[in-house]
Structure 1
Amino acid sequence: MISKFKPTWMIPVVYNISPSKLKDMGIKAVFSDLDNTLIPWNNPDGTPQLREWISELKKNNIELIVISNNKHSRVQRALRSLKLNFISRSLKPLPRGINKALRDYHLHHKEVIMCGDQLLTDVWASNNANVRSVLVKPLIESDAWNTKPNRFLEKLIWKKLRNKYDDLDWQEDINDRN
């Protein structure tokens, strides 16, 4: 059961993921959580680094699709200036949102990765959907009220993961393993 929480890769920030490397790996789309992954949960404006990364993804013909548990209006408002496609109310850790994006965008699970800052939602949903996952560190240390219980449980899960797996290391970029 603990393997359901194991990320494929661990990268400090989503913007470190090289779009050209993704293209070489056959990745056609990056699925990403919204809050504390792409933007801070309490500040909906994208950073210059995010905008540059989105531009590089586009140059490499890789689509960025947000998969969020938030309601439609919240995600739409947050992404208005970034002009990104999204799936709201995805019900992570269920694979519903990821599977919907795979169907809607005619993608195979090997052609995507899912990025997020939480083991209990993003990584677990990725593993449930048979999609490779990238765990990132939260952009800011504070969380919305509804995320705090997950962070507590994550600490317990991390202990079990570290006991079982010795390859859980933060890397600067993804590699072609898995």
Structure 2
Amino acid sequence: MPYLQPERYFSRISHINIERDLLACGFRCVLLDIDNTILSRATHDVPRDVGLWLAQARDAGVSFCLVSNNWHKNVHELANRLSMPIIAKAMKPLPVALFAACSMLGAKRSETVMIGDQLSTDVLAAHNAGMSAYLLAPLAEQDLRHTKYVRMVEQAILGGAVPEGAPQPVQASMADKSAAQNAFAQEK
């Protein structure tokens, strides 16, 4: 698997099926990015569906550790609110923080998946550490200036891939297209 290609790509964390996409794949530990993965940059809140998913995953036996390049006190406050260990100043895509997170959880790399919203930090860090990575579409379009530029490059790498759980574009049938063309021609 190429280093910048995630194993799976989801529209939101709540679209990851805990039984099928985590536990059945052998993942009992999840390393989680924070900004625009579980915490919206637009509202600075954990969306309701994300909080519910985290609770359900915990109830199913999944262990978590937050792994963030952020170093501000708000990430530590979030970790306290969620009762999760955290590694801040992670310096992703370097793998050292992911190794430390696995050690904190008592987890093997083979039973751990990194979940985040960026190819260049989260997915690359996971692959550098020899782990699997699930990519999420960002929770909000609002982002840091440098991240917006990185996202343009990442979109080119993804090549138009549609995340699982995203609404599918409606495909018009040939009959629909023909009817539309006839209606347009009659208007002229």
Judge same fold: TM > 0.5, yes or no.
yes
Counterpart of 1:96 in structure 2 is: 96
Q: Does 1:53 align with 2:62?
A: no
CA contact 1:35–1:41 (8 Å) conserved in 2: yes
Q: Which has the higher contact order (CA 8 A, sep 6+)?
A: 1
Q: Does 1:34 align with 2:19?
A: no
Counterpart of 2:122 in structure 1 is: 122
Counterpart of 2:8 in structure 1 is: 9
User: Is the alpha carbon distance of 1:151 and 1:48 closer, same or farther for their aligned partners in structure 2, counting shifts above 3 Å?
Assistant: same
CA contact 1:45–1:78 (8 Å) conserved in 2: no
CA contact 1:115–1:136 (8 Å) conserved in 2: yes
Is the deviation greater in 77-86 or in 7-16?
77-86
In 1: Cα distance, 2:75 partner to 2:139 partner:
17
Read off the aligned partner of 2:163 and give its amino acid letter.
Answer: W
Is the deviation greater in 49-58 or in 149-158?
149-158
The Cα shift of 1:41 comes to 2.1
Q: What value does the CA root-mean-square deviation take over the aligned residues?
A: 2.1
The Cα shift of 1:47 comes to 1.9
Counterpart of 1:19 in structure 2 is: 18
CA contact 1:69–1:89 (8 Å) conserved in 2: yes
User: Alignment identity in percent?
Assistant: 27
Counterpart of 1:170 in structure 2 is: 163
In 2: Cα distance, 1:148 partner to 1:169 partner:
19
Counterpart of 2:106 in structure 1 is: 106
Read off the aligned partner of 1:83 and give its amino acid letter.
Answer: S
CA contact 2:37–2:116 (8 Å) conserved in 1: yes
In 1: Cα distance, 2:128 partner to 2:157 partner:
17
User: Is the alpha carbon distance of 1:171 and 1:158 closer, same or farther for their aligned partners in structure 2, counting shifts above 3 Å?
Assistant: closer
In 1: Cα distance, 2:86 partner to 2:157 partner:
29
Read off the aligned partner of 2:10 and give its amino acid letter.
Answer: I
The Cα shift of 1:65 comes to 1.5
Partner of 2:83: helix, strand, or coil? coil
Read off the aligned partner of 1:171 and give its amino acid letter.
Answer: E
Partner of 2:89: helix, strand, or coil? coil
The Cα shift of 1:42 comes to 4.0
CA contact 1:44–1:78 (8 Å) conserved in 2: no
Counterpart of 1:70 in structure 2 is: 70
The Cα shift of 1:52 comes to 1.0
Extract unaligned runs of 5+ from structure 1.
163-167, 174-178
Partner of 2:153: helix, strand, or coil? helix
In 1: Cα distance, 2:110 partner to 2:12 partner:
22
Counterpart of 1:84 in structure 2 is: 84
Is the deviation greater in 91-100 or in 149-158?
149-158
Extract unaligned runs of 5+ from structure 2.
167-188
Give the number of the structure whose alpha-carbon radius of gyration is greater.
Answer: 2
In 1: Cα distance, 2:82 partner to 2:126 partner:
24
Read off the aligned partner of 1:50 and give its amino acid letter.
Answer: V
The Cα shift of 1:20 comes to 1.9
In 2: Cα distance, 1:66 partner to 1:101 partner:
8
